[in-house]
A and B are shown apart, each in its own frame.
Chain A
Amino acid sequence: MELLGHLALGFDVALSWQNLLLCLIGVLLGTLVGVLPGIGPATTIAILLPVTFELPAVGALIMLAGIYYGAQYGGSTTAILVNMPGESSGIITALDGHQMAKQGRAGVALSIAAIGSLFAGTVSTFFIAGSASTLSELGLLFGPAENVALMVLAIVAVIVMSKGSVLNGLVMVLIGLSLGLIGTDVETSKARFTFGIQELRDGIDFIPLAMGLFGISEILRTLETPGDGSVLNNKISGLWPKWADLKASALPILRGTGVGTVLGILPGSGTLLASFTAYMLEKKISRTPERFGKGAIEGLASPESANNAAAQTSFVPMLTLGMPSGAVTALMIGAMTIHGISPGPQVVTQRPDLFWGLVCSMWIGNAMLLIINLPLIAIWVSILRIPYRRLVPAIILFCCIGAYSVNNSTFDVLVLFAAGLFGYALSRLDCDPTPLLLSFIIGPMLEENFRRAMLVAHGNPMTFVEKPISLTLLLATAALLVVAVLPSVRKRREEVFVE
């Protein structure tokens, strides 16, 4: 039973009191920031990354994973209570969740969301544990050509799944690649696009970039919507669901978990596709579809479970192949690099403590959400009562200090400023910054692998279609791109983002 041995090692790491504490702090901090209206998990992670600098690598990643789950849960809380989702998948949560809150069933909605998430988290933890070794063995077969094909697939998948048109997504990818070029060329040690600025020789740091693109620009975006302050009016009572509620949500939770686990692995799919599919599935098989959108508990339980399962299995490509599948995993890859771990299939074998410790702490993080976080709901709710105008300066200050403390350099604060304004401009142009950040992070790896693949193949570009794995990945990429621009799919895609 190799699997049990791995899980034992993982729990051994994750249950050490330091890591347990870090996981708890992560979950609490993540919820604290994630509960703020309009701030999603990626933004939360970007804002909180500097907190994890001083920690050892394992602890830092465990804390970041905790922050992620906390942020997601915090986002659902805001979606349910005040109908202000922080990320796209929260929109689906808000559909029926907020209706339940309006009918005075906010407590039930919150606890069903947490229970569904814990169940989904448990299943997907086992799924990751079971599939990781196989996938990473497959990953070890990858040479430079296959890596290039995989990265292209990841980039295209993120374009397809992000907001705005495919062409805008392409622009974001290319700009991300351009920004990733800044710095010293690894092979020739030539400075590229540094404009004579000393600080740019090591390239732009991704933390101030991510904080600006997600954090500051999100705040500016939120400021556009008038009305502030007491977003929350109704009281929350009756936290624990009745037996009938549990019975009604059992099967939807099961179905949502299945949908989410599978869809989460797909590169770029993230959580939106999972929640949306789960919601649609529930609505389709329901005998009373007219209740959906009016506070149907199935319409909350299933997508919330799917959301969490997908959030978890989206770590699979990141952990086993070193390939980010969205903004969150891209940030995690960045964090790994800071701690001197080069992401890729070798992580499973070389750092089993890190890998299995992280997998197990994902489950612990989920359990903490239910046991510790849910009873604290009163505190999170009180945050929603703080007027937004007092939160904004606090978040800005936090971002400034975070950006500064990356290298103790003022230059990074300037990057934060520029990235914030740039991100705001991009959102005005209907461009989602996610593909930009993703290609910024994998751009240098892409270039290195591309140059190496061409060297190995004696300059023959056909190498990418002659190798079977690489060809398969590129065909999948092409299929994805074709499907995305097909008129019927495009219409559905727009519907998803409009809803």
Chain B
Amino acid sequence: MPLNRDVLTAGLATAFALILLAFGSHLPAGTAVRMGPGFIPRAVAIGLLAVAVLILIKALLARPARADDAAPEAPIHWRGAASISFGVLTFALLIQPIGLLASATATVFFSSLAQQGEGWGERVVLAGSLAAIAGAVFAYGLGLPLPILPNFL
């Protein structure tokens, strides 16, 4: 689906350009001699829009030739994306209130759900042991100032 992909890329570029223009409108562009903080953002935004147009033109021109030979693509791995995102977010949310050991256990457990083929018991054991290793290596071994245990203990 080369057409679709190009449209999405062009859309991404446009989105970034619009954000730059909308949230940078209050920044003065300055003059050519003394540029203000708004000059480069505007230039980048214009560049993004220009490339987006070029991508669309190219996609339209190439459409008939490329429709057939597009390689079949692996489907998006939603399960992986969801469980890994959940794992990372859990870490962000929990590290400060409940410390490394508990949050690492949760993160490993959730991100292990990215793939099938492991029993619940195995996942729990993996989570616990990786959390223990992480605590030993990072907090004690490397001496990083990480909270280890929940701060209410």
Which residues from chain A sit less than 8 Å from chain B, CB to CB?
51, 54, 165, 167-168, 170-171, 174-175, 177-178, 181, 185, 187-188, 190, 192-193, 195, 216, 219-220, 223-225, 228-229, 387-390, 392-394, 396-401, 404-405, 408, 410, 413-414, 416-417, 420-421, 424, 428-431, 447, 450-451, 454-455, 458-461
Contact = CB atoms under 8 A, between A and B. Distances in A.
B10 to A, nearest CB: 8
5 contacts: A171-B9, A193-B41, A223-B77, A392-B112, A392-B115
Interface in B37-87: 37, 39-41, 44, 47-48, 51-52, 54-55, 58, 74-77, 80-81, 84-85, 87
Contacts of B92: 400, 404, 410, 413-414, 417
B28 to A, nearest CB: 8
A246 to B, nearest CB: 40
B32 A461 contact: yes
A390 B126 contact: yes
A404 B146 contact: yes
Contact of A51 (B100, B126, B142): B142
A400 B88 contact: yes
Nearest to A400: B91
B76 A428 contact: yes
A171 B51 contact: yes
Contact of A408 (B104, B116, B145): B145
A54 B117 CA distance: 39
B37 A174 contact: no
A397 B107 contact: yes
Contacts of B44: 174, 177-178, 181
A401 B91 CA distance: 8
Contact of A167 (B55, B100, B144): B55
A60 to B, nearest CB: 13
Contact of B144 (A175, A389, A405, A429): A405
A473 to B, nearest CB: 20
A370 to B, nearest CB: 28
Contact of B36 (A188, A216, A455): A188
Contacts of A394: 108, 130
Given A393-B114, A401-B104, 10 more contacts: A177-B44, A193-B20, A388-B115, A392-B111, A392-B114, A396-B108, A410-B92, A413-B95, A429-B8, A430-B5
Contacts of B8: 429
Contacts of A174: 13, 16, 44, 47-48, 51
Chain B interface category by residue count: 35 or more
B143 interface: yes
- Interface pairs A-B: 5 shortest CB-CB: A459-B32, A459-B33, A413-B92, A185-B37, A223-B80
Given A219-B84, A393-B130, A397-B108, A404 B37 contact: no
B136 interface: no
Contacts of B77: 220, 223-224
Contact of A175 (B13, B76, B109, B146): B13
Most interface-central of A178, A413, A420, A421 (chain B CB within 10 A): A178
Nearest to A50: B144
Contacts of B74: 224-225
A417 B91 CA distance: 10
Interface string B2-44: 0001001100110010011001100100011111110111001
Contacts of A424: 81
Contacts of A450: 35, 40
Nearest to B71: A498
A454 B20 CA distance: 22
Contact of A192 (B37, B100, B142): B37
Contacts of A225: 74
B81 A171 contact: no
B20 A178 contact: yes
B120 interface: no
Contacts of B140: none
A157 B74 CA distance: 30
Contact of B80 (A188, A192, A220): A220
A189 B16 CA distance: 23
A455 B39 CA distance: 13
B9 A431 contact: yes
A388 to B, nearest CB: 7
Interface in B92-126: 92-93, 95-96, 100, 104, 107-109, 111-112, 114-118, 126
B97 to A, nearest CB: 10
Nearest to A229: B117
A429 B76 CA distance: 11
Most interface-central of A387, A413, A459 (chain B CB within 10 A): A413
Contacts of A388: 115
Contact of A396 (B19, B52, B84, B146): B84
